[in-house]
């Protein structure tokens, strides 16, 4: 009898494997069989799907098991069947800590019995024996229940065992089912073989607006070397534009050997300041500060002042050395030596970069190198830095990044790492899997509707979205795209709106961007003429052509609308005009629809074909859209609506979509 | 210097992990992270793909490592880069034994150096130091080489280290590259974390034609109970039709309790023979033979006679019992008992199947049950059976199947298991993953072009093809589809050709099929009227309407054409007539193109739009196609060709495609 069976089952625990009848397959998300974590920020939900099924006709039940890593016990979120043996369940990240999750499935014995009973009842069969079986199952659940629930369950069992139609009605009551379901028999349940991890970051990992500037170009007088104090004076400008990360190229002493001159010239004049990425001189290396910028105290003061404006200073971490770097003398074993006794400089044959010596990650003393570089990061964390933009991570060994990021985040979980890697896609994705919080993308080179759509779908609608957080940059000190070289204000405006609304995180290299700096070093190349990488520049922030007002407005819209603060709801919409890129993002009721004119030269007009479902709208109702840039409101109807955009006036509509009053529930 | 570095590297083996710079991802095929093997037959190739890449600009090399499980050492098959950091390599299964495989990747130091040298040479740089580095790398390879190759390598190193243009030419010689590549430095190589398994079967697992018949219906006189001797007399017929598996429903004693009468009647008359699936009586259970069929010796004689005709006898294994089965008395703990003391019969509420008692796989004594059932299979293996068609495997616990199939194949690797499960797709696929060699499919219910195409693509072009070998049955004793109920000869003919050419394995339930038995028990049901499951039938094999000639012809074509003996090259082709299903299979030069008319009533005509690439043809040349059914030959040109098919004449073209003489290379 069922009760006896259940208790005897408990005795036989050591041999239970053969009776685990539930299969769990295709758990999602699961990156590379659980080798890598998925990423979330505090407050986000994790939705888990899995195939959960058993042999035969028994019903199954399933739950997501999850816990913060510091908690010993699993929490449980029951999953719902969503068809074809697939189940779905979710939980929210409510602590700033990594989580683990897995999936458990079991035979829902009582549910199966109850389901069968209903069919027997309908067929007017004799239920006496079946009700006895059911009573046993209820009593069995009582043995696992709290005292109060056990008493309730036993009273149910007494009523059910009596037999007859009333007993059947009791047996089928939702109250009883809910009660029994709380105490399933789990000894023969199946748990997914892998515990999967969620890497949890703070909100800025997901939603951030970056501004990059060269501190040495911030002096009030032309040609004078800017200082941390000058940067401090610039903070108000950066904050007022709505940026929350101010990213500085390397601030360390710059080497003299093979120092680059203006425009990447291989010989420098005595007054050339050199490239900030040529790190290290007699004045120190990666933990020192270039004297012309100021002192450590002044730098810490800058960090503190920025924080008061809710701006964080991000430091550039370029793990490479000028030939003058102290490491070259102190640790020659960290570099590759050539048969002639010299240290190997950086090369991309036939090109030579003699001002830079790369570390050799195959060094005998690789462990010493790793430890030292970790200590460099921890040094800056101690000074108040919690965001690093990592230069060229794709030229350092993969295991190194996995280790060093874990080391730093183990000590300070708040630290954010942005991966600067514009290389092969699989390398970029690997770096993200290994722990980089955010990643540069190919956005700078995606111009047309098809290529933007395909690329963004890959980033937001595939597994890539689980571990790769894109950060969209229309320009960087190394990348002045051909499109921007036109110098047209409308191009800069459109590229800005795309970056800031396609990506919850984006950045610009300014003031070059807002002032539409656009002359290349030479035709066909993406380097800037008179690049700040090699010389001090002076920028006129008051130029009336500056894009600062648009930037300020868009950043304010981003802050006001949750929809723009993540990427997972990004959906593209059709339009009959190929020059329109139309897409939406939503967060609950907050729905934003973007229409960007990709043609910088001509006014474009056409009909949108909206996916109303993605906008949370009914199929044929009216709704209103308010352009958050122009404040104009339009009454729209159904999926087809007319739009025209003149690049001379505005690059885009950023439309706040609202169900019309009459349509609202 | 490189040589010193290399030797010092060898000392530091214990700490090498940090220097493993190569990443291996997305290895394919890999089923459920390696939880399940892929399947192949002897002589087939296994093609492995993987993403293999490293940081930076160094070149990588990769190899598939593989070995028969009984061999200790890995064999190596070098992989080729196929773009976007993806690599491909393959090996052939040349032994009837399971294989293991994995992927290894490493930095191709010499290849990188050699690549760079070519660029330096082109840029006319001074190569002195680079040639010294290269010479060191060559000497390093020599330390790992055979004595003869080491000598060769050292001579190369001497020439290279001399410097100058001649040394560079030597350094870049393909001969040197090939030699060095044989001896890569593997201490810091990366091997995929999982060893993956290939479950290897004999050829019949992949290519088989099944014929099912009820032995008791094979007597020469109507109403008389057929015997194994009668089946033996039928063997010549089965073999002459071209079948190589003769599958018999259960041959065991049939229970009396609740025995089913004709047409599934719940009460039987004393003369009703009962269902062969109601296994077990006082005369014995799963290892006994139903006395009216004959003796064990006669059964063994049948097996031997069949084998002489290259036909194997497949036994039906239905793990369930009649209430009269000896197990019910001897092992009541293997069944579920009800509170009234009775044994639980099979149910699908409100339906009751009181002639059948299912085993309880949650039994306390599950291990005893498993062992007994394994011994049943081994008993029949010992009598000469090496193919089992397993009845309703989806109603028994998954872990049981994985165990019992491994147990039986561990003792006799030749055994083939066909899974009879027409249930939810994920359950069917799971059973295949767990070890079933072949599987029934939904083919019986896929009629239209779209649904056939989609289903076959799922079975042959996705990961399913790696572990699920479909066996297509147009009918079974339980499945007389609505389409067949029309009784039209053209329907039977078309369904036959589809089964036999879409699937390398297929089967028919005869003689019901070739004689186009088509009356259902009642309208809207798929059971046969006067089903052989409940009564003895007598068939007129000489009926002039029999499809035997078509069957004989198609089976002969299958045997003559390798293309039809596997499914992995199946490709569908377009046509402007929706009633044509057009598909091809190929094996090297052997290319077969099928055009099946899905309309049983009317002549259909239209233009095919062939995928010439799938046919191994050039894009605009002429070629000839010979219909292997009619022997007609047509001269075709390019992708668009005209076809007409009259169901009154033939259901299909089975076209042997040959490049025209003028086109042949």
Instruction: Give tens-digit pLDDT for B390-437.
Output: 999 999 999 999 999 999 999 999 999 999 999 999 999 999 999 999
- A6-10, A101-105, B98-102, B591-595: range with lowest mean pLDDT: A6-10
CB A28 within 8 A of CB A49: yes
Whether residue A281 is contained in a domain is answered as: no
**Which chain B residue has the Cα nearest residue A370?**
B18
Q: A665 exposed, middle or buried (CB, 10 Å; 0-12, 13-18, 19+)?
A: exposed
Number of domains comprising chain B: 3
Q: Which of A338, A349, A364 sits opposite B120 (nearest CB)?
A: A349
User: How does the average pLDDT of chain B come out, rounded?
Assistant: 95
Cβ–Cβ gap B120/A350 under 8 Å: yes
Q: Which of A8, A54, A397 sits opposite B19 (nearest CB)?
A: A397
Closest Cα partner for A587 from A242, A210, A207, A37? A207
**Domain endpoint, select from A74, A104, A134:** A104
Question: Above 70 in pLDDT, residue B13?
Answer: no
CA distances from A181 to A7, A74, A170, B349, B427 (A): 18, 18, 15, 22, 25
- The residues near A173 (Cβ < 8 Å, ≥ 6 apart) are none
Q: B330 exposed, middle or buried (CB, 10 Å; 0-12, 13-18, 19+)?
A: exposed
Q: How many other CB atoms sit within 10 Å of the CB of residue B187?
A: 14
CB B498 within 8 A of CB B532: no
Q: Give the model's pLDDT for residue A164.
A: 87
Find out whether the peptide bond into B480 is cis, omega within 30 degrees of 0.
no
- Identify all chain A residues contacting B396, using CB atoms and an 8 Å cutoff: 55-56
**Which chain B residue has the Cα nearest residue A333?**
B5
Question: Above 70 in pLDDT, residue A573?
Answer: yes
- The residues near A178 (Cβ < 8 Å, ≥ 6 apart) are none
pLDDT grade for B16, boundaries at 50, 70 and 90: low
Q: Does A221 touch chain B (CB under 8 A)?
A: no
Report the alpha-carbon distance of residue B103 to residue A619 in Å, rounded: 51
Question: Above 70 in pLDDT, residue A11?
Answer: no
CA distances from B650 to A313, A422, B496, B585, B645 (A): 79, 60, 12, 20, 7
Query: Nearest CA to CA, how far is A26 from chain B (Å)?
Result: 7
CB A242 within 8 A of CB A236: no
- Would you tell me which residues 130-169 of chain B have a C-beta closer than 8 angstroms to some C-beta of chain A? 132-133, 136
Q: Which of A19, A57, A395 sits opposite B361 (nearest CB)?
A: A19
pLDDT grade for A14, boundaries at 50, 70 and 90: very low
Report the alpha-carbon distance of residue A174 to residue B306 in Å, rounded: 60
Cβ–Cβ gap A367/B18 under 8 Å: yes
Q: Is B296 helix (H, G, I), strand (E, B) or coil?
A: helix
Question: Above 50 in pLDDT, residue A27?
Answer: yes
Backbone angles phi, psi at A50, to 5 degrees: -160, 155
**Which chain B residue has the Cα nearest residue A396?**
B55
Tens of pLDDT, residue by residue over B256-278, are 999 999 999 999 999 999 999 99
Tens of pLDDT, residue by residue over B540-582, are 999 999 999 999 999 999 999 999 999 999 999 999 999 999 9
Whether residue B558 is contained in a domain is answered as: no
Query: Nearest CA to CA, how far is B650 from chain A (Å)?
Result: 39
Cβ–Cβ gap A348/B57 under 8 Å: yes
Report the alpha-carbon distance of residue B665 to residue A347 in Å, rounded: 47
Whether residue B328 is contained in a domain is answered as: no
Q: Which residue range is the domain that position B609 belongs to? A: 565-663
Query: Nearest CA to CA, how far is A543 from chain B (Å)?
Result: 41
The predicted model gives B73-79 an average pLDDT of 98
CA distances from A116 to A56, A59, A120, A152, A370 (A): 14, 10, 6, 23, 63
Closest Cα partner for A293 from A251, A324, A235, A236? A251
Report the alpha-carbon distance of residue A305 to residue B63 in Å, rounded: 55
Q: Give the model's pLDDT for residue A662.
A: 53
Q: Kindly report the pTM of this predicted structure.
A: 0.95
Whether residue B470 is contained in a domain is answered as: no
Question: Above 60 in pLDDT, residue A625?
Answer: yes
Tens of pLDDT, residue by residue over A424-446, are 999 999 999 999 999 999 999 99
- A135-144, A624-633, B30-39, B652-661: range with lowest mean pLDDT: B652-661
CA distances from B346 to A124, A554, B226, B268, B395 (A): 19, 67, 29, 18, 11
Q: Give the model's pLDDT for residue A659.
A: 85
Report the alpha-carbon distance of residue A609 to residue A606 in Å, rounded: 10
Question: Above 50 in pLDDT, residue A2?
Answer: no
Report the alpha-carbon distance of residue B177 to residue B137 in Å, rounded: 11
Check residues B652 and B17 and name the one with the higher pLDDT: B652
Whether residue A49 is contained in a domain is answered as: yes
The predicted model gives A563-592 an average pLDDT of 97
* Strands A416-420, A438-440: pairing kind: parallel
Tens of pLDDT, residue by residue over A348-406, are 999 999 999 999 999 999 999 999 999 999 999 999 999 999 999 999 999 999 999 99
Whether residue B122 is contained in a domain is answered as: no
Return the HEC string of A523-562. Answer: CCCCCECCCCCCCCCCCCCCCCCCCHHHHHHHHHHHHHCH
Tell me how many degrees the CA angle A53-A56-A57 measures, rounded to the nearest 5.
85
The predicted model gives A646-664 an average pLDDT of 86
Q: Give the model's pLDDT for residue B662.
A: 53
Whether residue B654 is contained in a domain is answered as: yes
Determine which one of A212, A312, A391, A532 is catalytic: A391
What are all long-range contacts of A618-621, with beta carbons under 8 Å and residues at least 24 apart? A618/A663, A621/A659, A621/A660, A621/A663
Q: Give the model's pLDDT for residue A12.
A: 42
The predicted model gives A527-550 an average pLDDT of 98
Q: Which of B117, B132, B403 sits opposite A339 (nearest CB)?
A: B132
Closest Cα partner for B29 from B16, B39, B19? B39
Report the alpha-carbon distance of residue B494 to residue B601 in Å, rounded: 11
- Would you tell me which residues 238-297 of chain A have a C-beta closer than 8 angstroms to some C-beta of chain B? none
- A153-157, A642-646, B11-15: range with lowest mean pLDDT: B11-15
Closest Cα partner for B505 from B294, B263, B245? B245
- The residues near B43 (Cβ < 8 Å, ≥ 6 apart) are B92, B93, B94, B203
Tens of pLDDT, residue by residue over B505-529, are 999 999 999 999 999 999 999 999 9
Whether residue A412 is contained in a domain is answered as: yes
Question: Above 50 in pLDDT, residue B7?
Answer: no
* Number of cross-chain residue pairs from A and B with Cβ atoms under 8 Å apart: 170
Residue A617 maps to which CATH number?
2.60.40.1180
Q: Is A175 a residue of the active site? A: no
- Identify all chain A residues contacting B430, using CB atoms and an 8 Å cutoff: 23, 25, 53
Q: Give the model's pLDDT for residue B560.
A: 98
**What residues of B act catalytically?**
391, 420
Total length of chain A = 665
Cβ–Cβ gap A364/B12 under 8 Å: yes
Q: Give the model's pLDDT for residue A621.
A: 84
The secondary element (H helix, E strand) that includes residue B123 is none
Complete DSSP assignment for A443-492: GGG--SHHHHHHHHHHHHHSTHHHH--EEB-S-BTTB--TTGGG--HHHH
Q: Give the model's pLDDT for residue B618.
A: 85
Report the alpha-carbon distance of residue B291 to residue B598 in Å, rounded: 45
Query: Nearest CA to CA, how far is A411 from chain B (Å)?
Result: 21
Total length of chain B = 665
Q: Give the model's pLDDT for residue B5.
A: 41
**Domain endpoint, select from A104, A120, A135:** A104
Q: Does A400 touch chain B (CB under 8 A)?
A: yes
């Amino acid at each position: 009898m069922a009760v006896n069976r259940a208790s005897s089952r408990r005795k036989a625990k050591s041999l239970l494997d053969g009776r685990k009848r539930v299969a769990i397959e295709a758990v999602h998300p699961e990156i590379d069989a659980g080798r890598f974590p998925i990423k979330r920020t505090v407050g986000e939900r994790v939705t888990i799907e899995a195939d959960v099924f058993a042999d035969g006709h028994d019903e199954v039940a399933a739950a997501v098991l999850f816990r913060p890593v510091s908690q010993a016990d699993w929490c449980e979120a029951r999953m719902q069947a969503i068809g074809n043996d697939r189940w779905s369940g979710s939980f929210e990240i409510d602590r700033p800590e990594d989580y683990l999750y897995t999936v458990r499935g079991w035979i829902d014995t009582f549910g199966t019995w109850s389901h069968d009973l209903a069919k027997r009842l309908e067929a007017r069969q004799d239920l006496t024996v079946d009700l006895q079986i059911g009573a046993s199952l209820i009593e069995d659940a009582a043995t696992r229940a709290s005292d109060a629930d056990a008493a309730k369950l036993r009273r149910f069992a007494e009523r059910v065992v009596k037999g007859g139609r009333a007993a059947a009605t009791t047996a089928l009551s939702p109250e009883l089912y809910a009660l029994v379901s709380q105490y399933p028999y789990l000894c023969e349940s199946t748990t997914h073989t892998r515990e999967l991890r969620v890497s949890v970051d703070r909100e800025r990992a997901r939603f951030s607006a970056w501004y990059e500037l060269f501190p040495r170009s911030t002096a009030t007088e032309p040609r004078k070397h800017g200082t941390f104090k000058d940067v401090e004076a610039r903070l108000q400008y950066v904050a007022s534009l709505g940026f929350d990360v101010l990213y500085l190229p390397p601030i360390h002493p710059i080497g003299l050997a093979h120092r680059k001159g203006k425009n990447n010239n291989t010989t420098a004049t005595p007054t050339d300041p050199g490239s900030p990425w040529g790190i290290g001189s007699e004045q120190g290396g990666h933990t020192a500060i270039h004297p012309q910028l100021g002192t450590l105290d002044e730098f810490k003061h800058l960090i503190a002042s920025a924080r008061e404006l809710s701006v964080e200073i991000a430091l550039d971490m370029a793990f490479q050395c000028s030939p003058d770097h102290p490491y070259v003398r102190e640790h020659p074993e960290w570099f590759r030596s050539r048969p002639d006794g010299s240290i190997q400089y950086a090369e991309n044959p036939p090109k030579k970069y003699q001002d830079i010596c790369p570390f050799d990650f195959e060094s005998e003393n690789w462990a010493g190198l790793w430890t030292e570089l970790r200590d460099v990061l921890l040094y800056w964390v101690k000074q108040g830095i919690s965001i690093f933009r990592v230069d060229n991570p794709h030229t350092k060994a993969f295991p190194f990044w996995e280790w060093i990021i874990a080391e730093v985040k183990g000590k300070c979980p708040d630290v954010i790492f942005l991966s600067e890697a514009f290389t092969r896609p699989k390398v970029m994705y690997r770096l993200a899997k290994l722990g980089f919080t955010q990643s540069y993308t190919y956005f700078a080179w995606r111009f047309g509707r098809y290529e933007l759509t395909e690329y963004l779908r890959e980033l937001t609608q595939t597994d890539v979205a689980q571990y790769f957080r894109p950060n969209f940059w229309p320009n960087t000190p190394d990348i002045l795209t051909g499109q921007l070289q036109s110098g047209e204000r409308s191009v800069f405006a459109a590229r800005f709106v795309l970056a800031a609304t396609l990506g919850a995180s984006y950045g610009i290299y300014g003031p070059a961007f807002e002032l539409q700096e656009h002359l290349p070093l030479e035709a066909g190349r993406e380097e800037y003429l008179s690049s700040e990488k090699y010389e001090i520049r002076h920028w006129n922030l008051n130029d009336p052509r500056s894009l600062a007002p648009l930037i300020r407005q868009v950043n304010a819209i981003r802050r006001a609308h949750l929809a723009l603060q993540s990427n997972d709801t990004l959906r593209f919409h059709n339009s009959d005009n190929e020059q329109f890129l139309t897409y939406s993002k939503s967060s609950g009721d907050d729905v934003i629809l973007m229409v960007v004119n990709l043609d910088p030269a001509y006014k474009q007009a056409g009909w949108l074909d909206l996916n109303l479902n993605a906008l949370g709208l009914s199929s044929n109702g009216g709704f209103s859209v308010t352009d958050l840039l122009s404040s104009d409101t339009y009454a729209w109807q159904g999926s087809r609506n007319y739009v025209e955009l003149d690049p001379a006036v505005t690059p885009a509509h950023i439309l706040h979509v609202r169900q019309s009053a009459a349509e609202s529930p």
